[in-house]
Structure 1
Amino acid sequence: MRYVAAYCLAALGGGSPSTKDIEKILSSVGVDCDADEAKKVVGELEGKNLEELIAEGMSKLGSMPAGGGGGSGAAAAGGGGAAAAGGGAAEEKEEKAEEPEEESDDDMGFGLFD
């Protein structure tokens, strides 16, 4: 990824970046450059429009599933809204019971600002 990022930085400067450009950028931030990796990136991207490649990649990212629990959180939020509309005080007591208790820092022997 660092080689692609260095290639993009070099491309912003204008022209077609070379392996020496990538090596120069990486060495300026103290990162060792593997000549084979830099050569591979330059070879793959040579002659291609970088802006078009980025746009194509962004469109592919939009179709990728992100995974995780996003759907259940939305369902819980929707259910909570319906319960709040019909419930009242009884619903609030249930919510308070579901919240985990916060642990105290006293037993750890130090505080945040000590």
Structure 2
Amino acid sequence: MRYVAAYLLAALGGKDNPSSADIEKILSSVGIEADGERLKKVIGELNGKNLEDLISKGREKLASMPAGGAVAAAAPAGGAAPAAAGGSPAKEEKKPEKKEESESEDDDMGFGLFD
């Protein structure tokens, strides 16, 4: 993901077909050491293509994916049963849990999942 992002940044900066040196420069500016194989793959897949068309096609594909709405619809049905039976729903006091994030999560802002 970071290689694609660096490629897009180079393209936004005016490079029609960013080179591996352009991408390495962007990645090194934020402390990331570039992997030659991944770099070649990204450049090979994206060079010479219209990035705006690729992004719009990707959006269309994402729009056609299910968002998991069925799970959310099942939850209210289970919670409504006590009220329908004449009882009052139990009031639960929920305390927000404090989650401590590790430094590694902060470093890559969650984008490390796509490496």
TM range (shorter): 0.5 to 0.7
When the two structures are superposed, what TM-score results if normalisation uses the length of structure 2? 0.65
Unaligned runs of 5+ in 2: 97-115
Instruction: Name the structure with the higher helix share.
Output: 1
The equivalent of 1:41 in structure 2 is 42
Structure 1 runs (4+) deviating above 6 angstroms are 78-81
Deviations 1:58-106 (A, max 9, x none): 1001112234xx324335447878x98xx7xx56x3142xx36659xxx
Residue correspondence of structure 1 range 1-114 to structure 2 within 5 A = 1-14=1-14, 15-67=16-68, 70-77=69-76, 93-96=88-91, 99=92, 102=95
Identity value in percent: 60
When the two structures are superposed, what TM-score results if normalisation uses the length of structure 1? 0.65
Distance 2:62 2:95 in 1: 38
CA 1:42 to 1:102, structure 2 compared with 1: closer, same or farther past 3 Å? closer
CA 1:94 to 1:62, structure 2 compared with 1: closer, same or farther past 3 Å? same
